[in-house]
Structure 1
Amino acid sequence: MPALLLVGWLTAGWWLPGLSALAFGADSAADAAGEDPHAGHDHGVAAAGEVVRLSDQARGTIGLRTAEVRLTDFDRAVTVPGVVTQRPGRSDLQVSAPMTGVITDVFVTEGQAVRPGDPLFVMRLTHEDIVRAQTEFLKTLEALDVEEREIARLRNVSGGVVAGKVVLEREYEKQKLEGLLKAQREALRLHGLEEAQVARIASDRSLVREIRILVPEPHDPAEPGHDGRHDLFAREAVAEPRTPSAGVSARRISLQDAAGSEVWPPLTVERLTAHAGDAVSANAPLAELSDLSLLYVEGRAFERDAAAVAAAAREDRRVTALPTDNLAGPSDPVAGLEIAFVANRVTADSRVLPFYVLLPNEVASDRRQGSGGERFLTWKYKPGQRMRLRVPVETFREAIVLPVEAVAEAGAERYAFVENGATFERRPVRVLYRDAESVVIADDGSLLPGESVAVSAAHQLQMALKNAAGGAVDPHAGHNH
């Protein structure tokens, strides 16, 4: 027996691993042989102190992205809701009947894009005043012709038979008729006839039975040279022209027609209130046109933000608009918008302070259809569309700005992860400001310009470091060796 025990002890290195494998499995045998069962395995995350190592697979799994640290200025802003609206007195144009008549032709449809000077309607005149005014104009023309012929005849009479006094009286009568004719001509223009139509009455000696109603030309009374559109007495009421905002006027929409001529601004037929065959009275609405090339975003500042909005308007800080719906497809933020004015009263129901931001519009679609090549525009921003307005209230100079996903939290500490090859080093940082999208980090040496940092998945990196260092999770759990 002692001899057998001695032989077994001497040969244990040969038969003991096999026996352990049969009794406890391959992992126990490897342990008994002094081998690491996890040698050569890469589980994606390993840690050593404040450093996290990631495999390429782990980077892709957690969606890790990196970016270079840069110093930049950042505007701290308040975000308020807003809605796109038209500019009262500027966006809407009403087309009315200049006199009583019957609509015989309609040249446009709702939604069609038109330009100033395009025909909208043809109207047959039935107003007694315009018929009477034309008739009196024709009578005066005929009387003036008779007077001119008579003066010419008297001057041709020889021998001094006709005294010069008679010719002089005829000259006076001619001047009276010319004055009456001028007054009647202006009366016809006031009734709505064009200068060419008045000239045609004088040349053809026939009444105008139909008139065209054209697209009016929109204009801003504050534009330089606007007073030239008005009569002398009306010009006195026109205010001194102001200098338009360079940032806004330069971004107004400018299109081209089929001939390549510039059309500014394009108008849209919003509604037709008259149809072929309708009998309309003077000043009756016929159509509503809209100029959507420049709109407002009506912001609604709550009490806590009202002072910041007023200060931003006073200091001419530029606003950023962020569309919150997909009415025109995905839209990028619109930066550099000007606050036009802040309202002087708070709404009674919602207790918000309205303010208005100028929004230059964009044409999303421009197409022609139909046999006449009617033009239809689709605008990118539409009245009623909801937006969020970011109003800057403070500027951080020479700061590090990262996405919120780039900073992890652990109690009172905040951390960023600096890339170094396949590893990421955790560094504590001091946060100056944070909102829903960005975080501002002080330039105090914790992060250096030019370094590459993780700008996403910082929370996952933090959890990986915590688990690897504290052993809360067995990295080999679930492996079958």
Structure 2
Amino acid sequence: MNTQSRTYLLKGAWWIGLAIIILIGGVTSSRWIPGLNSWVEQTISSFRPGEAGTDDESHEPHDSHEGHDHESHAGHQDETSLELSAQAMRNIGLTEETLLPVQLETFWRSMTVPAVIVERPGRTRVQVATPMTGVITDVHAVEGEAVEPGTLLFQIRLTHEDLVQAQTEFLKTLGELDVEEREIKRLEAVTSSGAVAGKLLLDREYARDKLSALLRAQREALRLHGLSEGQVNQIAEDRRLLRELQVFAPTIDNHEPEELQLTRSADQNSALEFDSFPPETKFVTHVGPLILQDLNVHKGQSVNAGETLCVLTDYDELLIEGMAFEQDFETIRETSKNQWPVDAIFEKAGDGNRIVEGLEIAYLANQVDTGSRTLKFYVRLRNELVKDRRDSGNRYVEWKYLPGQRLQLRIPIEEWPEQIVVPVDAIAREGVESFVFQQNGDHFDRVPVHVKYRDQFSVVIANDGSLYPGDVIATKGAHQMQMALKNKSGGGVDPHAGHNH
């Protein structure tokens, strides 16, 4: 029994000692576990191919990818992975707008040609001229001011001798015709009683017919002077001469058949309006104001019929004049025939370009420019107001696009559906290799890709399994990330690595 008791006591002491050791180890784990982990990592690294004999400094005790799901990203390696701080990401422009998922989309293989914004011939510039001779009594607009169609621009006191004479003769004939009408009525009453011979009544009726024919001729003469039928009728009704011409800003898209209209005002009972339109005449397609570009007259100046008073410009819609070289003629014709949309590319100060998409070719020129040997074609460009302000009662506006601006037109050549398309800044190049950087948790993995096509703005990547739709990649800063990755690996940094000359 003593031997058995001794055995049980030894076993109990062993278990108690083991429990004490485990307790002490748990309490002091923060001191010995990091060292143990470091020893295990060094031991494992010594058996990895290509890593034996590396410096101890390359094996830090902290695992920078702790918690990373390696199973979901097979092939993950330190030399192709890069961690960036929040500041570093902002430095190279990586934000929510530039970290985007891969998508399959339609890509248009295209070419670019030089272009310039030009005015629309016969539409952008509107010359306002006086139809009659007179003296400028009021100028209601200033140069550079924005005016809406129907805005009063000038008032002119008429001194046109022929117009005054024609109105005078017209009113004189009207008076004589009224006298004949009254005389005929009187003679009809006395002729029926036999007091006056019927021949006298017939003579008066013939005289009335002559005056009516003369009045019609004078009415047509007034029409030739620029007055409308309604205005001539107004003169006949009021029996007053027109003394003043009011010139209004014309419309661009709508034109009234009567360009001159009478108006009544407190200080002038009989006046004339040029290019004035009723309130119900709305400008459906035109949205912006007209700009008073050139003001050629001043108050008190005498002007002759047909003389230019001012020039108005309409920048609501402009044209882009593209210049295609001889080898591109057929491509431009094919694009115009198929009505494929073209893009306008404007250079911006700093980084990036401003692209206006979905424009339409209006027409192609029917001759080649002999100086530049280019075929010119034209694309419609809808303008936008960027500033609209009032100063001292005058309105001033600024347009986004102006004649003379230079740009490039991107002309589609061939349609490629279901393609992976990324910006050129998303691709880093090193020798014959091309890479993108895929976001994976808190770091970026460099992924080799096959570039099928590359132009000035976009790159088409082969859909061969390197990337899948939904993978989030950096669409900007790939060159800087490639340099940072090489610097991290300890290799010499080539400042031109991944840079496309």
Give the TM-score taking structure 1 as reference length: 0.74
The Cα RMSD (Å) is 3.3
CA distance in 2, matches of 1:66, 1:331: 19
Contact 1:301 1:309 in 2 (8 A): yes
Instruction: Tell me how far 1:78 sits from its aligned partner.
Output: 1.7
Contact 1:325 1:386 in 2 (8 A): no
Identity of aligned residues (%): 50
CA distance in 2, matches of 1:196, 1:211: 16
Give yes or no for the alignment of 1:150 onto 2:191. no
Residue aligned with 1:333, SS: strand
Contact 2:348 2:354 in 1 (8 A): no
Alpha-carbon spacing, 1:304–1:276, altered in 2? closer, same or farther (3 Å)? same
CA distance in 2, matches of 1:59, 1:120: 57
Paired residues in the alignment total 399
Instruction: Tell me how far 1:63 sits from its aligned partner.
Output: 4.7
CA distance in 2, matches of 1:185, 1:348: 53
Aligned to 1:51: 80
CA distance in 2, matches of 1:71, 1:349: 44
Structure 1 residues not aligned, in runs of 5+ = 1-30, 221-225, 231-258, 475-481
CA distance in 2, matches of 1:406, 1:325: 20
Aligned to 1:351: 373
> Which whole-Å deviations, capped at 9, do the CAs of 1:351-400 have from their partners, x for residues lacking one?
33221111111122223333xx3333322211122222222222221000
Please, which of 234, 238, 250 is the counterpart of residue 216 of structure 1? 250
Aligned to 2:124: 91
- Aligned-partner residue type, residue 140 of structure 1: T
Contact 1:193 1:211 in 2 (8 A): no
- Aligned-partner residue type, residue 411 of structure 1: G
Give yes or no for the alignment of 1:401 onto 2:435. no
Contact 1:51 1:423 in 2 (8 A): no
- Aligned-partner residue type, residue 85 of structure 2: D
Please, which of 342, 345, 358 is the counterpart of residue 319 of structure 1? 342
CA distance in 1, matches of 2:332, 2:160: 54
Aligned to 2:304: 281
Residue aligned with 1:213, SS: strand
Instruction: Tell me how far 1:320 sits from its aligned partner.
Output: 1.5
Alpha-carbon spacing, 1:211–1:452, altered in 2? closer, same or farther (3 Å)? closer
CA distance in 2, matches of 1:465, 1:54: 9
Alignment of 1:211-360 (within 5 A): 211-219=245-253, 229=257, 263=283, 265=286, 266-324=289-347, 332-360=354-382
Instruction: Tell me how far 1:216 sits from its aligned partner.
Output: 2.7
Instruction: Tell me how far 1:40 sits from its aligned partner.
Output: 4.5
Instruction: Tell me how far 1:81 sits from its aligned partner.
Output: 2.1
> Which whole-Å deviations, capped at 9, do the CAs of 1:71-93 have from their partners, x for residues lacking one?
01112222222221111111121
Give yes or no for the alignment of 1:115 onto 2:134. no
Contact 1:50 1:425 in 2 (8 A): no
Alignment of 1:424-435 (within 5 A): 424-435=444-455
Residue aligned with 1:124, SS: strand
Aligned to 2:491: 472
Instruction: Tell me how far 1:194 sits from its aligned partner.
Output: 5.2
Contact 2:317 2:381 in 1 (8 A): yes
Residue aligned with 1:405, SS: helix
Contact 2:184 2:204 in 1 (8 A): yes
Instruction: Tell me how far 1:51 sits from its aligned partner.
Output: 3.4
Residue aligned with 1:153, SS: helix
Between 1:140-149 and 1:281-290, the stretch displaced more is: 281-290
Q: Determine which structure has more spread, i.e. the larger CA radius of gyration.
A: 2
Alpha-carbon spacing, 1:162–1:324, altered in 2? closer, same or farther (3 Å)? farther
Instruction: Tell me how far 1:60 sits from its aligned partner.
Output: 5.1
Alpha-carbon spacing, 1:472–1:364, altered in 2? closer, same or farther (3 Å)? closer
Aligned to 2:458: 438
Give the TM-score taking structure 2 as reference length: 0.71
Alpha-carbon spacing, 1:177–1:390, altered in 2? closer, same or farther (3 Å)? same
CA distance in 2, matches of 1:360, 1:98: 33
Aligned to 2:22: none
Structure 2 residues not aligned, in runs of 5+ = 1-41, 43-54, 66-75, 259-278, 494-501
CA distance in 2, matches of 1:346, 1:299: 12
Consecutive aligned runs of 4 or more in structure 1 exceeding 6 Å deviation: 41-44
Alpha-carbon spacing, 1:467–1:324, altered in 2? closer, same or farther (3 Å)? closer
Instruction: Tell me how far 1:100 sits from its aligned partner.
Output: 2.1
Please, which of 112, 122, 132 is the counterpart of residue 79 of structure 1? 112
Contact 1:406 1:455 in 2 (8 A): yes
CA distance in 2, matches of 1:178, 1:445: 93
Alpha-carbon spacing, 1:210–1:435, altered in 2? closer, same or farther (3 Å)? same
CA distance in 2, matches of 1:405, 1:118: 51
CA distance in 2, matches of 1:473, 1:388: 39
Aligned to 1:366: 388
Residue aligned with 1:150, SS: helix
Instruction: Tell me how far 1:50 sits from its aligned partner.
Output: 6.2
Aligned to 1:459: 479
Residue aligned with 1:307, SS: helix
